[in-house]
Structure 1
Amino acid sequence: MCRSIKTLRPPFQDETTDADIHAAALQYVRKVSGFRAPAAHNAEAFDRAVAQVAAATADLLASLQVRGRPTG
């Protein structure tokens, strides 16, 4: 749970996959919630949060403009 979330934008990473984004979102939600794996009664909220963070991350990465690199 204490692993750092890696930077997903260029030039740190040229290609970011959905799996990379999901892993970062999962690490974030684990850190914020304090749960590595939620109890059954929290699983839906936990999974929904991971999906929302992943979607926001994908949107952010698609919107960033990095100097000297093509967008999107």
Structure 2
Amino acid sequence: MCRSIKTLREPYASDVTGEDVHAAALQYVRKISGFRAPSARNAEAFERAVAAVAAATQALLEDLELRQPPRSRPS
């Protein structure tokens, strides 16, 4: 698995943004496709894959049930 993909669930992360989810999806698709940046003819498929992975990631994060409530972190 790509080491630059961060864990996005509590308690490892708080205040996860859409940008965080998109970045993780992009890294995943880059890793499995072998493309850092796809060619023009593959760009649409690449972007669709990133969007699908981001949507699945967001749904997963929303559906996970934690044993303990999220910890509040000092500001």
The normalised TM-score by structure 1 is 0.90
More helix by share: 1
How far did 1:14 drift? 1.4
Rg bigger for which structure? 2
> Runs (4+) of structure 1 moved beyond 4 Å?
none
Aligned positions, number:
69
Instruction: Give ranges in structure 1 of 5+ residues lacking alignment.
Output: none
Tell me which of the two structures has the higher relative contact order, counting C-alpha pairs closer than 8 angstroms and 6 or more residues apart.
Answer: 2
How far did 1:69 drift? 1.4
Residue 66 of structure 2 is aligned to residue 66 of structure 1: yes
Cα distance in structure 2, aligned partners of 1:50 and 1:61: 16
Instruction: Give ranges in structure 2 of 5+ residues lacking alignment.
Output: 71-75
**Identical-residue share of aligned pairs (%):** 68
RMSD of the TM alignment (CA)?
Answer: 1.2
